[in-house]
Amino acid sequence: MNKLIIYPIIFLLLIVPVMAAEWDNAGWYDEDTKTITIRNLFILNKLAEYTLTSNTDTCIYDCKAEGTVTLYNKGKLFSNLIFEDKKGKETSIQDYSIYYYFNENYEIDVPDYKETCNDVWNDINETMDK
């Protein structure tokens, strides 16, 4: 009887690490918008979107690529960076730097009211209240 209770508890404890795993992340590339979208397949929510806005055609000296990244959860901006040539063959780059500009969007709730004061006559003590 105890085994019937213990096995479901162990099963539930093992599910939590599997849901946080990264092995089920997958990416899709949209050729028209030049956007890579990375999703978690198990939960089906977006993790990040990478869009290439400009890139140098030939890369001999001072190559440059620009783009935008939207991270929907806390995480790394890039991991396992791989450089490829135009034919899709992996190439090694000896020295590279990544510069980024940080833009955080958030909403602020501003109350939309104004204070209106009127003079009121108080009949009890016959005075004017403000």
**Predicted structure pTM score:** 0.54
For 49-96, the pLDDT digits (tens) are 999 888 887 777 778 888 888 888 887 887 777 888 778 888 887 788
Longest CA–CA span in the chain (Å) reads 93
**Tens digit of pLDDT for each residue in 21-56?**
555 678 888 888 888 898 887 666 888 899 988 888
Half-sphere exposure at residue 19, Cβ-oriented, CA atoms within 13 angstroms = 9
